[in-house]
A and B are shown apart, each in its own frame.
Chain A
């Protein structure tokens, strides 16, 4: 990430979002606003389970409301492409509790 706080430096990059309901959505950040509403293009959800590999569900173009966003992070595409998601096992995240 280049200088400065905020999401500006991540625009047009692939990001990974964790939502309050415990989902992990990966996509290209196309825009955001003061409320952290974000536009994700070409997005997909990664569904983690302990019994089988990570499933990727294609979602497409999404507007995620800021209220529902816990974490936004840039995705290291090099590292990511070296992962074998089909062999990766993990517990699904629990929803955020308020």
Chain B
């Protein structure tokens, strides 16, 4: 189980966040992202020494300032349910997608695509550099000189 999926599952739950500077934030998790940035509501902030408090309706905490998060015990059971249902859904979709792509692109489609790409690249490089019509190699050299 990934720590960030546990955090995602904890949305809507109360939690305690301690920052690297020792401040703690108690509140309900509204949202989080893959950097562990978190958005809390109904927050109580406590100073490092624990003798000063601030209440705030919401706050946003940058992930890299976090030391740890304490989440309610029951959240870990909910993660497992979600990940199970996800794996149940996936396989049929993947199979269908691959099948269709292969049949349409068939023998005719691929070579055409390949030629088109090569031509475009040559043209673009030629314009950027000094040498026009030559192959890919010459074009790329030209572009390099142009920058320098």
Interface magnitude class on chain B: 20 to 34
Decide yes or no whether B141 CB sits under 8 A from chain A: no
Complex partner residue of A64 from B1, B4, B5, B68, CB under 8 angstroms? B68
User: Beyond A37-B36, A63-B71, is A31–B1 a contact (Cβ under 8 Å)?
Assistant: yes
The segment out of B72-80, B92-100, B104-112, B117-125 that lies at the interface is B72-80
Judged by DSSP, the binding face of B is mixed
Question: How distant is B77 from chain A, measured CB to nearest CB, in Å?
Answer: 10
Interface centre among B63, B66, B68 (most CB of A within 10 A): B68
Interface size on A, residues (CB 8 A): 19
Contact with B along A37-52 (1 / 0, CB 8 A): 1110100000000000
A residues sitting closer than 8 Å to B (CB atoms) are 19, 21, 30-33, 37-39, 41, 59-65, 67-68
Report, nearest first, the 5 A-B pairs whose CB atoms are least far apart. Answer: A31-B1, A37-B3, A63-B69, A64-B68, A68-B67
A-B contact pairs, 11 of them (CB 8 A): A30-B1, A33-B3, A39-B1, A41-B73, A60-B70, A60-B73, A62-B70, A65-B66, A67-B64, A68-B67, A68-B68
